[in-house]
Amino acid sequence: MSGTIVDNNASSLSIPTDIAGHMLDLDDDDDLEVFSKDTREGSSFNASMQTSPGSMINQYKFEEEEEDIDTKDIFVTVDDPESYVTAIETFITYRVVTKTTRSEFDSSEFEVRRRYQDFLWLKARLEEAHPTLIVHPLPEKFVMKGMVERFNEDFIETRRRALNRFLNRIADHPIFSSTEDFKIFLTADVGALTSHKKQGPGFLSRMGESVRGLAATVRGVRNRPEEFTAMQEYVEAFGQHISSLDKVTQRIVREQKEYLEDLKECVPTYTLWSNSEEELAEPLRGMASCLERCYKETEEQVKELNDNLNPTLHEYVLCTETLKTVLRRRDIIQAEFEAKTEALLAKHADREAIREDLYKMEDRLEWANNALKSDWTRWKKVMRTDLRSAFMDTAEKNVNYYEKCLAVWETFLLSQRTDAEGTQVLDSS
């Protein structure tokens, strides 16, 4: 990979390779992960909802989305999970299909299989090469209490959606999508990928970077630019708000699931009751039918929350930690620059040599600052589009849900009134 990467799709942004490999905490646990459900991969609304007051949401188009569709030249899909059981481990691989029109690729379509540890490697390499760019998070790692559910179908599908979301985040990024590591991840066979992985820094090298980074953090930054202090304050406030929304939404889902269980118990109760009440048999069966239909609609609503709103909110909860890490890396670069500046000035050495070293470190800090500022603007735009879309989808689905349930009960009431009026006519005659 060349020493400078240029963004040809947006404003020009170059990242020098001398920033690469700086301060990275890696975790080598391969497949022990907890997967937050990934955000939606597309949605469609019921055509009948066009008469709904909320259906106007359907007609709203984001300019950003239309622009992305027009300029996008690489499409990635993660699907077809397969389980492998060996004497040593059990793991899952996923098919990664790539379609592209980019000239640097040897073909327009590629198909490879990857396991979760490969995704971890890709994320780590991107962070190593670009420590002040924002890599969207992978799903969380597994906790021991959840191990028994690790390979059930729902869990695997949740993981697949999360990994699909992650790769498309990378594919949409003007810098990450042009890296050699991403290209190799999408195109290389297992052997070639394994060989390429070995070219990265070893554990001792990474540990050394972490130690230096920790030392720089302890020293602290003396003159942090106000704009980065403002970023930190924004991230703290954003993290609190998005975390609260995430917790509330999870609680709503739990309560809706409890409500589902109650509905499920009511249906057979009304059905059995109708068998022993001859005069009430018809309305009791009608109640059972209404509850069953509402159960199905509520089940669909819970699924929508789990597939769309919940994953989006939780992804951005994880994003706040990523942002804090990126800001910390920027501070480390500045702290090292300040410390080395003081050390060089204190030495009685050739002033020209000192000046040259200071220029290099100053350039490195400037590149880090510019990279973060550019990616920060891009991240906020993507974040706002994602959250706006998730909230509008949720609003539309809720309107749809309540209208359908209302229609079920209104139909039942109408049938009962009609039956009552007919009975009155018969009685009067």
- What is the arithmetic mean of pLDDT over 314-320? 93
97 pLDDT exceeds 80? Answer: yes
pLDDT for res 12:
40
Q: Would the pTM count as exceeding 0.95?
A: no
Burial of 43 (0-12, 13-18, 19+ CB in 10 A): middle
- What is the arithmetic mean of pLDDT over 106-122? 94
Gyration radius from the chain CA atoms: 28
What total of structural domains would you count in the chain? Answer: 1
pLDDT for res 159:
87
**Where on the phi/psi map is residue 21: left (φ > 0), alpha (ψ -120 to 50), or beta?**
left
DSSP annotation of 306 reads: I
Q: CATH no. for residue 336?
A: 1.20.1270.60
Window from 244-248, 292-296, 336-340 with minimum mean pLDDT: 336-340
Instruction: Between 292 and 352, name the one with better pLDDT.
Output: 292
- What is the arithmetic mean of pLDDT over 81-97? 87
**Using CA atoms, how far apart are residues 153 and 132, in angstroms rounded to an integer?**
37
pLDDT band with cut points at 50, 70 and 90 for residue 86 = confident
CB contact at 8 A, 305 and 255: no
Window from 196-210, 246-260, 308-322, 335-349 with minimum mean pLDDT: 196-210
CB contact at 8 A, 34 and 143: yes
Burial of 166 (0-12, 13-18, 19+ CB in 10 A): buried
10 pLDDT exceeds 90? Answer: no
pLDDT per position as a tens digit, 339-379: 888 777 776 556 666 677 778 888 989 999 999 999 999 99
Strands 74-85 and 14-16, by their bridges, are unpaired
**Using CA atoms, how far apart are residues 3 and 20, in angstroms rounded to an integer?**
10
Residue span of the structural domain in which 366 resides: 4-428
Complete DSSP assignment for 320-369: HHHHHHHHHHHHHHHHHHHHHHHHHHHS-S-HHHHHHHHHHHHHHHHHHH
pLDDT band with cut points at 50, 70 and 90 for residue 114 = very high
User: Virtual CA dihedral for 353, 357, 359, 361, nearest 10 degrees?
Assistant: -170
